[in-house]
Amino acid sequence: MNIKEWQTTQEQCVKEYQELVATGHLTESEFVELVEDLVDVKRISDDLSLEDNKIKAQKAIDAIKLIAGLI
C-alpha cells in the first residue's frame, strides 16, 4: 500500500468514526483516541524507511487530523 492509499483508507475510517459519534455509538473522547491511534507518528515512522515517505506520511497524517477536526 502506498502513502496515498493509506491516507484514503485512514480518512474513510475517520469519517466512519464521525458517523458513530453523530449517532451516539461513540463518545467524543473515544473518537479522539481512535484517531490518535490511526495517526501514531512513531509507529508509522518506524515502518517507513525513506525520508520522502516520512514527509508524505506526515502530510497524510495532517490531512487526516484536519478531517477529524483535531487541528
Q: Return d(Cα 35, Cα 12) in angstroms, integer.
A: 11
pTM: 0.66
Residue 35 is given by DSSP the state H
User: What percent of the chain lies above the pLDDT cut of 90?
Assistant: 37
* 38: Cβ contacts below 8 Å, ≥ 6 apart: 10, 13, 14, 64
Task: For residue 38, count CB atoms less than 10 angstroms from its CB and return exposed for 0-12, middle for 13-18, buried for 19 or more.
Answer: buried
**Average pLDDT of 6-18?**
91
**Average pLDDT of 38-47?**
74
